[in-house]
């Protein structure tokens, strides 16, 4: 039996033998120890204090419903609609209540003013886009994961601020959600023509400083 045939045969056996192949397995409820730990933690935290929500909304300018970003396919590229369950004030008993609250804060989306000339688009991807207003052009720091979300974030900014061109893009680091959407804010021709500069590390280094 060839190696190729062996691998195929193993794959078939796994698919046939796996219960998931015959239908969705109903999720199990949380263990009593989990329920107890979450309930006890909830008693120790000051959930009545909503200052962190006020802080998260500071500088809010505007957003689009559900931060919806459509694409060329039938499914949206990005949407916060699936996280509507977080609008419940009470955390699900299966979830650490502190993490539930953190998820509620992370679900806040839109354009925010950070300080003079500095704005952020939050909740339109798994990272945030920061926009610094220069005298004649914009500096965009981190361009999200996809072209579509980056374009939507910049369009949201332009809905509320002067439409200056992007002159500089900065990647704060080399994770995909910080550079993947670059073509949503600038084009290759603009870079080649010297109209836009992209600042990034030439090579990532994983060495630990001594």
**Backbone torsion region of residue 144, taken as left when φ is above 0, otherwise alpha when ψ lies between -120 and 50, otherwise beta:** left
- pLDDT at residue number 16: 45
Contacts 24+ apart (CB under 8 A), 79-88: 80/107, 80/109, 80/123, 83/107
pLDDT by 10s per residue, the chain, length 210 = 444 445 544 444 444 455 555 568 888 889 999 999 999 999 999 999 999 999 999 999 999 999 999 999 999 999 999 999 999 888 999 999 999 999 999 999 999 999 999 999 999 999 999 999 999 999 999 999 999 999 999 999 999 999 999 999 999 999 999 999 999 999 999 999 999 999 998 865 545 445
- pLDDT at residue number 6: 52
Only one residue has tokens 């990034």, namely 200
- pLDDT at residue number 22: 56
- pLDDT at residue number 207: 53
Superfamily of domain 31-199: Metallo-beta-lactamase domain (3.60.15.30)
Exposure string of 94-125, with b = 16+ CB inside 10 Å and e = fewer, is eebbeebbeebeebbbbbbeeeeeebbbbbbb
- Return the H-helix or E-strand segment holding 102: helix 97-106
Residue 92 φ then ψ, to 5°: -60, 140
Task: Tell me if residue 200 falls in helix, strand or coil.
Answer: coil
- pLDDT at residue number 8: 47
- The percent helix, strand, coil of the chain (3-state, each to 5) is 40, 15, 45
Exposure string of 153-166, with b = 16+ CB inside 10 Å and e = fewer, is bbebbeeeeeeeeb
Sequence ranges of the domains in the chain: 31-199
């Amino acid at each position: 039996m060839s190696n190729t045939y062996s691998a195929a045969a193993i794959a078939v056996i796994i698919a046939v033998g796996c219960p998931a192949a015959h239908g969705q397995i109903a999720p199990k409820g949380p263990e009593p120890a989990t329920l107890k730990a979450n309930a006890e933690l909830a008693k120790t935290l000051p959930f009545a204090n909503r200052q962190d929500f006020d802080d998260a909304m500071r500088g809010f300018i505007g957003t689009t419903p559900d931060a919806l970003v459509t694409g060329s396919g039938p499914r949206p590229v990005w949407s916060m609609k699936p996280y509507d369950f977080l609008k419940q004030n009470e955390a699900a008993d299966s979830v650490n209540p502190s993490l539930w609250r953190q998820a509620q804060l992370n679900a806040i989306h839109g354009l925010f003013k950070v300080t003079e000339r500095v704005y952020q688009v939050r909740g339109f991807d798994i990272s945030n886009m920061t926009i610094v207003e220069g005298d004649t052009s914009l500096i965009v720091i981190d361009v999200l994961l996809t072209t579509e979300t980056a374009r939507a974030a910049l369009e949201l900014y332009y809905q509320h601020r002067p439409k200056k061109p992007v002159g500089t893009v900065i990647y704060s680091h080399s994770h995909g959600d910080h550079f993947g959407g670059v073509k949503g804010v600038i084009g290759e021709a603009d870079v080649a023509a010297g109209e836009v500069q992209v600042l990034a590390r030439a090579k990532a280094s994983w060495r630990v400083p001594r």
